[in-house]
Structure 1
Amino acid sequence: MPHLLRSTLWLGFFGLILAAWWMLAVASLDMGLDLLGRPGGIAEAMRRMDPRMDMQMPMAEFWPLASMWALMMAAMMLPTLVPTLRAYEDLMVSANGTRAGWAGVVAGYFGVWLVAALGLAGLQLALLFGGMIDMLGIATSRWFAVALLLAVGLFQFTRAKEVCHGVCHAPAMYFLGHWRTGFAGGLRMGSGLGGFCVGCCWGFMALGFAGGVMNLAWMGLATLFMVLEKLPQIGHVVTRPMGFALILGAGVVAGWPIISGG
């Protein structure tokens, strides 16, 4: 029975991730977008539309945006939780952990990212009506994209990134220092870990505004990198190289020829 419960929980966990990716892919197709989140046909006309001319467009309303960001959090951030859940399982016997606690960690972690999704939806609307991005969340100026790439790249070298990544990279140490039993205890620990994870990974969410928040290719690459960042074996060696890559990317984008007022 314990093995059946473990298998059921893990299958449900991965099923949630797959469902989120599937729903995002369907939404992207329904909007007429390609893999890079670029529009065609009707979607192109929507992209060029001034949002102030039609306040009923779903991408200009808070709750549809919040729902989309919540799906993105499930698709992108839940995979990064796998090493943390494995660390919890390693402590279950020696520290009196339970499957309820395991589920609590998932709920607490995801709950924090759901709150982050609300904030990101509000930020997207502010950027949209401020003219910084278009209806599909694509930067309207290359200089805005440059600023995002540069800011996230530089953040990779900061003390804040080091502290937050340290917790995410070694969740067992966090568990040992904050151990609580049962679902409530797992919820509390998961919330704490989620807070550090937001501090560690916020930049990769913000980068969605550089190339479009419905860019599935970017989402996949960002998810892969964030998973690698949290792996005990290599997580500590990929953070700064990514910072250099993003700064270099900012330079490349800044050097693009101006085509249409960007």
Structure 2
Amino acid sequence: MGAAHWLALFAVILLAWGALYAMALPEELRATSRVYGAEFWAALCTLTPDAAGFLRITAMWMLMSAAMMAPTALPAFATYDDLSHSAETDFAALVGGYLTIWLGFSLGAAGLQFALYQSNLVSAFGDSRSTALSAMLLAMAGAYQFTPLKEACLSKCRQPLSFFMAHWEEGAFRNGLRLGAVCLGCCWALMLLGFVGGVMNLAFMGLATIIMVVEKLPDLGRWITKPLGLALLAASAWLAFGLG
């Protein structure tokens, strides 16, 4: 069984992280925008209130999704690869289905960022300008850690063999869609914390990726989910208390 499909997948992940690194905003530029106002960065163009701005921000969320979410699914991809008899074809279809779901998420996240920007709740960098918004996103993500839906999605991600065997006859692409859907169910709230940590903040993206990878591990992940929820709720309460 060849390794070309694995090399291609790792190349996609590395290229996505490389593109995000190239797009990352240095602190000096953020500081300059604070001095000259929001119009300064809008003039330089990242998120602008037009179709081109929406396409740019959608592309950025697509890169973020590929860079952050593909690594969390590597154990599941490996399981399917071991089960498949036509590795390259099935593997590409599986990953394609998986990324299709995250393409949909990227469109939704870009639309949300666009609306928040228009409402002056996030900056052109995608950083929250509202303590109330940040507290709400943290509380939502923290509370979601305790929901049955989160647990159900995590259980499927942690047991990819059982997951794939239950739907094997549907084919690689539809299994990829299913896998993407359960991973979306696991991680959508954590991904939206990008508005709190900074949408183009590489440190936040790296930390969030590690957390999401660990949370999907069968043994270690079980010790992460609820403490993470408590930590997010505590952070939300701390911010909310600051409002008073």
- TM-score relative to the length of structure 2: 0.90
1:246 to partner: Cα distance: 0.6
Matches within 5 A, 1:84-163: 84-92=76-84, 96=85, 98-163=87-152
Q: Note the residue ranges of structure 1 that are not aligned, 5 or more in a row.
A: none
| C-alpha separation in 1, matches of 2:36 and 2:122 | 13
| C-alpha separation in 1, matches of 2:227 and 2:197 | 21
| C-alpha separation in 2, matches of 1:246 and 1:111 | 29
Does the alignment pair 1:171 with 2:160?
Answer: yes
1:57 to partner: Cα distance: 3.2
| Greater CA drift, 100-109 or 83-92 | 83-92
Contact kept, 8 Å, 1:127 with 1:133, in 2: the verdict is yes
Equivalent position of 1:48 in the other structure? 38
Matches within 5 A, 1:1-262: 2=1, 5=2, 7-28=3-24, 31-33=25-27, 39-41=30-32, 43-44=33-34, 48-49=38-39, 57-60=45-48, 61-92=53-84, 96=85, 98-180=87-169, 185-256=171-242
| C-alpha separation in 2, matches of 1:47 and 1:231 | 44
1:99 to partner: Cα distance: 3.0
Higher helix proportion: 2
Measured at CA, do residues 50 and 254 of structure 1 come closer, stay the same or move farther in structure 2, by a change above 3 Å?
A: farther
| C-alpha separation in 2, matches of 1:113 and 1:180 | 23
| C-alpha separation in 1, matches of 2:93 and 2:221 | 25
1:91 to partner: Cα distance: 2.3
| C-alpha separation in 1, matches of 2:218 and 2:89 | 25
Contact kept, 8 Å, 1:47 with 1:134, in 2: the verdict is no
SS in 1 for 2:47: helix
Contact kept, 8 Å, 1:180 with 1:189, in 2: the verdict is no
Q: CA offsets per residue over residues 108-153 of structure 1, 9 Å max, x none? A: 1011101110111001001111121111111111121111101100
SS in 1 for 2:224: helix
| C-alpha separation in 2, matches of 1:46 and 1:100 | 52
Contact kept, 8 Å, 2:46 with 2:124, in 1: the verdict is no
Count of residue correspondences: 240
Q: Note the residue ranges of structure 2 that are not aligned, 5 or more in a row.
A: none
Measured at CA, do residues 155 and 136 of structure 1 come closer, stay the same or move farther in structure 2, by a change above 3 Å?
A: same
Q: What letter corresponds to residue 83 of structure 2 in structure 1? A: L
| C-alpha separation in 2, matches of 1:178 and 1:216 | 36
Runs of 4 or more off by more than 2 Å in structure 1? 31-34, 43-51, 54-58, 89-92, 96-99, 251-258
Q: CA offsets per residue over residues 83-114 of structure 1, 9 Å max, x none? A: 1012113323xxx4633112211111011101
1:238 to partner: Cα distance: 1.2
Contact kept, 8 Å, 1:132 with 1:139, in 2: the verdict is yes
Identical-residue share of aligned pairs (%): 38
- TM-score relative to the length of structure 1: 0.84
Contact kept, 8 Å, 1:149 with 1:247, in 2: the verdict is yes
| C-alpha separation in 1, matches of 2:175 and 2:169 | 7
